[in-house]
Amino acid sequence: MKVVLAGTVVGMLTGFFGVGGGFVIVPALVLALGFRMDEAAATSLLVIIVNSVVALATRLDSGTIEWDVVLPFLLASLAGVVVGTRLAMDHDPSVLQRWFVWLLVAVASYTAVRSGIAMI
């Protein structure tokens, strides 16, 4: 039941707000389901792949893909993954987890402020 509830909340947040899957999936797996951080990160990647394929399939009919943006972004992201993975191997997972939490708080605060301003 916990998995279904956590998955439903993650799906709603991802679909409604368009938030990045990792920002929602990883905390759900760690906090709600008791995963270790490394397990949550690996599991979230598979969930993100499935969500991305479904989202892409549902949105392909609504417009074109800006390949001049997608390809450089993709290549830069892949380079970032390689560098980030190597850096992560040299750091304590509990420290990385704390940094991730602060990043989530910063992104949530920024989003809340921007949303508040937009509502005025």
Percentage above 90 pLDDT, the chain: 18
- pLDDT tens for 8-48 read 888 787 777 766 667 788 888 888 889 988 898 889 888 88
- Please tell me what DSSP assigns to residue 63: S
**Confidence bin at 119 (pLDDT 50/70/90):** confident
Angle at 77 between CA 42 and CA 44, to 5 degrees: 20
Q: What are the phi and psi torsion angles at 15 (to 5°)?
A: -70, -40
- DSSP code, position 61: G
Least confident of 15-19, 49-53, 87-91, 110-114: 15-19
pTM score, two decimals?
0.57
CA–CA distance, 15 with 35 (Å, rounded to integer): 23
Q: By CB neighbour count within 10 A (0-12 exposed, 13-18 middle, 19+ buried), where does 89 fall?
A: exposed
Task: Give the whole-angstrom CA distance, residue 30 versus residue 73.
Answer: 29
State phi, psi for 36 to the nearest 5 degrees: -75, 160
Domain ranges of the chain: 1-63, 66-120
